[in-house]
Amino acid sequence: MNMASNGILLIFTVICINMGCNAKEAFIKVECKAENLGQYGQQSLLECVVQTSQAAANAEIRVVTWSKDDGTLLVFHDGDTTSRPGYSFAEPSWNDKNMNVSLLIANTAVEHEGVYKCTVVTDSGDGSNVTNLKVTAKYNKPTIRSDPEKLHPNTAGTLICNSNGGYPQGEIRWIVGDDTDWTKSAEMEAKPTDSGLISLSSKLTLLEKSTFHKYTCVVFNASGGKEEEVEFEFGILNSSIQDQDRQSEKSVGMPTKIAAPAVVIGSLIVGLLLALLIHKKRSQLARRFSTTPLMSGNHMVPTSIVEEGDHLSLEDGNLRIV
């Protein structure tokens, strides 16, 4: 039985040597960059190039296939290229003489991360290789809020720091004062969002009579690199609370500032109107008195009621002011 197997193997080897079985594979080699880094929301390049020996310098590509664990992404065959949306050859004018078969991903998402396989068939042989894509996304600037909202020094409470939009999972660290690391005293939670990006949240509990003047929330990426930070200082409200206070001042303070001068001006106007009204009444009353006889027969009436500018008229023996 063993002698028969060895005989078949020997015959097959002789046939391959005589016929050049798989000999063309030595002329073709697909070389790919082992690892590629893609930025979320931007283009990603998976680099693969076909290397040929001198004997196959004029090789012509017949088939190119790019695939991932979820299926085929791009295929070139008999002069035609078909692909899923968002995938294409890196060189727009690519043709079967171009040995650069790199793949371009238009809009990188978390789901694009993984291992890709490139297979090439030429008229001088075929080959394949794999390449890996890692996706990264930078975390947004963190925000800090306190519970209770208005936290006073040396009172119990909680500081909550949030940052999102990053990938892979990073870390939030707490620095107290200038250089004291309090991360171990905090509780951090990481949650994936619908897009696959990570949302980080960390809670730092403050004990009564043991608070510091300044707390800093620092966000680090998965590689340990520092990305963003924000500070919380007692006596200085954080930006979100300051914005709310400014809005309150605009909505409440401004009407008050406008109303105070209006009240004063209104009072002055009312006072002037009253003064004019009183003066007018007195003038009308004086003019009524002026129509009474100043002299009736031999009786004299005090002329103190006669005002400067009045004219006297004698009618039927009576003197009147006109």
pLDDT band per the 50, 70, 90 thresholds, residue 262: low
Q: What is the second-level CATH architecture of the domain 143-236?
A: Sandwich (2.60)
Q: Terminus-to-terminus CA distance in the chain, angstroms?
A: 157
- Map 185-250 to HEC letters: HEEEEEEECCCCCEEEEEEEEECCCCCCCEEEEEEECCCCCEEEEEEEECCECCHHHHHHHHHHHH
Rounded to whole angstroms, how far apart are CA atoms 276 and 281? Answer: 9
Range in 1-15, 230-244, 247-261 with the lowest mean pLDDT: 1-15
Higher pLDDT pick, 135 / 261: 135
Task: Tell me how many helices (H) and strands (E) the chain has.
Answer: 3, 23
Greatest mean pLDDT range, 245-254, 276-285, 290-299: 276-285
Higher pLDDT pick, 83 / 246: 83
pLDDT band per the 50, 70, 90 thresholds, residue 53: confident
pLDDT band per the 50, 70, 90 thresholds, residue 304: very low
Domain residue ranges in the chain = 21-136, 143-236, 241-278, 291-322
Sheet holding 186-192, edge to edge: 143-147, 157-166, 198-206, 186-192
Contact 38/112 with Cβ under 8 angstroms?
yes
Contact 122/98 with Cβ under 8 angstroms?
no
Decide whether 21-136 matches 143-236 in CATH topology.
yes
pLDDT at 259: 54
pLDDT tens digits for range 158-192: 999 999 999 999 999 999 987 889 999 999 999 99
pLDDT band per the 50, 70, 90 thresholds, residue 300: very low
CB atoms under 10 Å from CB of 271, counted, come to 10
Mean pLDDT for 84-101 is 94
Q: Which residues have CB under 8 Å from 104's CB, separation 6+? A: 43, 44, 45, 46, 87, 88, 89, 90
pLDDT at 269: 75
pLDDT band per the 50, 70, 90 thresholds, residue 236: low
For 251, phi and psi rounded to 5 degrees? -80, -30
Structure tokens at 238: 């954080």
pLDDT at 284: 59
pLDDT band per the 50, 70, 90 thresholds, residue 133: very high
CB atoms under 10 Å from CB of 291, counted, come to 9
Contact 318/295 with Cβ under 8 angstroms?
yes
Percent above pLDDT 70 for the chain: 66
Distances (CA, A) of 117 to 64, 136, 223, 277: 10, 21, 26, 99
Rounded to whole angstroms, how far apart are CA atoms 227 and 168? Answer: 13
**How many CA within 13 A on the CB side of residue 66?**
28
Structure tokens at 291: 């129509």
Q: Are strands 114-122 and 61-68 parallel, antiparallel or unpaired?
A: antiparallel
State yes or no: cis peptide before 148, omega within 30 of 0. Answer: yes
Q: What is the second-level CATH architecture of the domain 21-136?
A: Sandwich (2.60)
What stretches of 57-124 adopt beta strand conformation (E)? 61-68, 71-77, 80-83, 87-89, 103-105, 114-122
pLDDT at 165: 96
The per-residue pLDDT of the chain, averaged, comes to 78
- Helix residue ranges per DSSP H, the chain: 2-19, 239-248, 254-290
Contact 200/162 with Cβ under 8 angstroms?
yes
Q: Is the pLDDT of residue 98 over 50?
A: yes
Range in 111-120, 198-207, 257-266, 291-300 with the lowest mean pLDDT: 291-300
